[in-house]
Amino acid sequence: MRRISIFGATGSIGQNTLDLIRRDPESYTVVALTGGQNIAQLAADARAFGAEVAITADETRLDELRAALQGSGVEAAAGAQALVEAATRPADWIMSAIVGAAGLAPGLKALEQGTTLALANKESLVCAGRLLMATAEVHGARILPVDSEHSAVFQALVGERITEVERIIITASGGAFRDWPLEDLAGATLAQASSHPNWDMGQRITIDSASMFNKALEVIETREFFGISPEAIEVLVHPQSLVHALVGFRDGALMSHLGAPDMRHAIGYALHWPDRRHLPVARLDLAAIGQLDFRAPEEARYPALRLARAVMARGGMSGAVFNGAKERALDHFIAGRLGFTDMAVITERVLAQLEAEAGLIDDAMTLENVTRIDDLARKAVDLVVKI
């Protein structure tokens, strides 16, 4: 029996992970399940999977969680510190699927235990990639990518040497607005930005796909995880979302990974790695699909990609500024306080502002410093938005 925990169990990735566990209950013991506001889902899953503990990130909802778990034998806990403590419970495999920088502290703690971390939470690599990778190395822990593009690259690299890689191409659907006239983007509404042409995901990543902030995070994630130079990372718009990534080797060969747009593919690969097992995902019928389209991303449509390049060139903890500012700008867009295109404008402004503050982003990369910078970036966005 493998002991597993799922951080962000109530979300889209968490539910897909539980779907795979549910199909093979004899193989797993569920240790910790965590959630945020969806107490009913968290309690129902904790009961159904016989979890040792269920944790909500929201301390004010502990009583509600306790009540929902009454008589089940599942422990209840709440708050950011309880999440970190849950990561110290012995486990063989932990899914990191909290959304946003909040996933960093529990992920780091899991790595400090030497636990294998299946990493969907790309924000933690963007904010603190060097810290995360170094922590894994020191404690002999393994990070397995769950983002579909990074899982695809990881799979294309099996049996290969990273030193022979010339370029990594990650694909992007282009999001909800890939064919919109540019002048209409500023007026895009929350509902319009919250629908994805191919993937069924959480609301925040769906909006980030429309703005390509998601792809910008993934470019930085590629750099941090595979240690490849920024110039070797390319983004290609591929509207069908069937080719997830391509790896180009020095002999000119390109190895690509194709699959249905279903996150259970990448989650399942990380769950069973290094083996492959049957997964309940659709098989591609390429003759029926007929054609695969590719095009270069337009700079004017997707300014977030340019910002990702600037962040990689700047280095230090500018990734934490970028992610914190982007997350807060997204909060304001969701709350109706910012327009769709304002998110990139404000993120760029905050990046320039905090980079200019002496020493700030070149301090040692520790959890404390990353958290401080994340907080400063959010406050700087609030100042611009004037709340």
What residues line the site for ligand NDP (CB under 6 A)? 8-14, 35-38, 57, 97-99, 102, 120-123, 147, 199, 201-202, 204-205, 263
Contact 151, 270 (CB under 8 A): yes
Q: Which residue is nearest to ligand NDP (CB)?
A: 11
For the bound state, the minimum distance from the C-beta of residue 38 to ligand NDP, rounded and expressed in Å, comes to 3
For the bound state, the minimum distance from the C-beta of residue 40 to ligand NDP, rounded and expressed in Å, comes to 9
Helix axes 342-355, 318-334, angle to 10 degrees: 150
Pick 233 or 266: Cβ nearer ligand NDP: 266
**245, β-bridge pairs:** 170, 257
d(CA 129, CA 125) in angstroms, rounded, equals 4
What is the torsion angle, in degrees rounded to the nearest 10, for the CA atoms of residue 28, residue 106, residue 135 and residue 202?
80
Pick 178 or 204: Cβ nearer ligand NDP: 204
For the bound state, the minimum distance from the C-beta of residue 57 to ligand NDP, rounded and expressed in Å, comes to 3
CB atoms within 10 A of CB 12: 20
For the bound state, the minimum distance from the C-beta of residue 111 to ligand NDP, rounded and expressed in Å, comes to 16
Pick 52 or 123: Cβ nearer ligand NDP: 123
Pick 187 or 280: Cβ nearer ligand NDP: 280
What does DSSP assign to residue 371?
H
Token pair of 27 as six digits? 């193989």
Token pair of 75 as six digits? 């422990």
For the bound state, the minimum distance from the C-beta of residue 8 to ligand NDP, rounded and expressed in Å, comes to 3
Pick 21 or 263: Cβ nearer ligand NDP: 263
d(CA 340, CA 21) in angstroms, rounded, equals 37
Q: What share of the chain is helix, strand, coil (3-state, %, to 5)?
A: 50, 15, 35
For the bound state, the minimum distance from the C-beta of residue 363 to ligand NDP, rounded and expressed in Å, comes to 24
For the bound state, the minimum distance from the C-beta of residue 267 to ligand NDP, rounded and expressed in Å, comes to 9
Alpha-helical segments (H) within the chain? 12-22, 39-48, 62-69, 80-86, 104-112, 122-138, 148-156, 190-193, 203-211, 213-226, 264-272, 286-289, 303-314, 318-334, 342-355, 367-385
Pick 76 or 182: Cβ nearer ligand NDP: 76
Pick 39 or 384: Cβ nearer ligand NDP: 39
Contact 119, 107 (CB under 8 A): yes
Pick 147 or 224: Cβ nearer ligand NDP: 147
C-alpha Rg value of the chain to the nearest Å: 20
What does DSSP assign to residue 282?
P
For the bound state, the minimum distance from the C-beta of residue 184 to ligand NDP, rounded and expressed in Å, comes to 26
For the bound state, the minimum distance from the C-beta of residue 277 to ligand NDP, rounded and expressed in Å, comes to 20
Contact 16, 267 (CB under 8 A): yes
Pick 102 or 338: Cβ nearer ligand NDP: 102
Contact 233, 297 (CB under 8 A): no
